[in-house]
Structure 1
């Protein structure tokens, strides 16, 4: 009950806190690359010649991945970033299983000067939309 009394008496401070949390979340989301829906990703691949960087582990990648995806597990991206240098002039879409690792990889790539987008919902969303997967 004291909590609600505090909120009613200090509504300005509470509002400022909520606003700052929103700004922080928005900033963090875009520092890792703008999220892109599966439909936007297909448009980027087909029209802008975007490349997909799949950061899942080898077994998940082999079970099904987007055509011509570049595979570098999320733990190895920092050490293998040189392999991606030839794609700096194209959008690079980071894809993982559910979106849990794409943010960290996206931030790293953005700091290195890449045009980064993140596959919203990860490869699970891609598969749920019945979009094509290549199995190796």
Structure 2
């Protein structure tokens, strides 16, 4: 007991870090995100679709090779989404924030295998993966 009292700051640090880890697990922190290698594997081996949810001007400036542009604002009404809702969908935007919102929309619409590219186009570029310009 004396150890706990003398080292209260260590106990506090352990409790705070444990609480943060638990909060992340309960909120699904990072769930549904894939790195660039896993994204390429999903597209190449599991016939997944790479969907860029950026605005058309951002898409035209540079996008992942083979990505289909469906802007976030038009996602719910889009006819460009696959009818097979079990097909893997890998969502990408500039940073990953819009793609995360898009993932929630698609999951609510019944798409079972929706992933977000962690780090967005920045991660794609850093991995030296092919980029196209429209």
What range describes the TM-score normalised by the shorter chain of this pair?
0.7 to 0.9
TM-score by length of 2: 0.77
SS of alignment partner, residue 53 of structure 1: strand
Cα deviation code 1:101-131 (max 9, x no counterpart): 1211111212222211111110111112221
Any stretches of 5+ residues in structure 2 without a counterpart? Answer: none
Greater helix share, 1 or 2?
Answer: 1
Tell me: CA distance 1:124–1:76, structure 2 relative to 1, closer, same or farther (3 Å): same
Counting matched residue pairs gives: 126
Partner residue in 1 for 2:58: 60
1:47: how far off? 0.7
TM-score by length of 1: 0.76
Q: Give runs of aligned pairs for residues 1-136 of structure 1, distance below 5 A.
A: 8=8, 15=15, 18-26=17-25, 27-30=28-31, 33=32, 35-80=33-78, 82-114=79-111, 115-136=113-134
Any stretches of 5+ residues in structure 1 without a counterpart? Answer: none
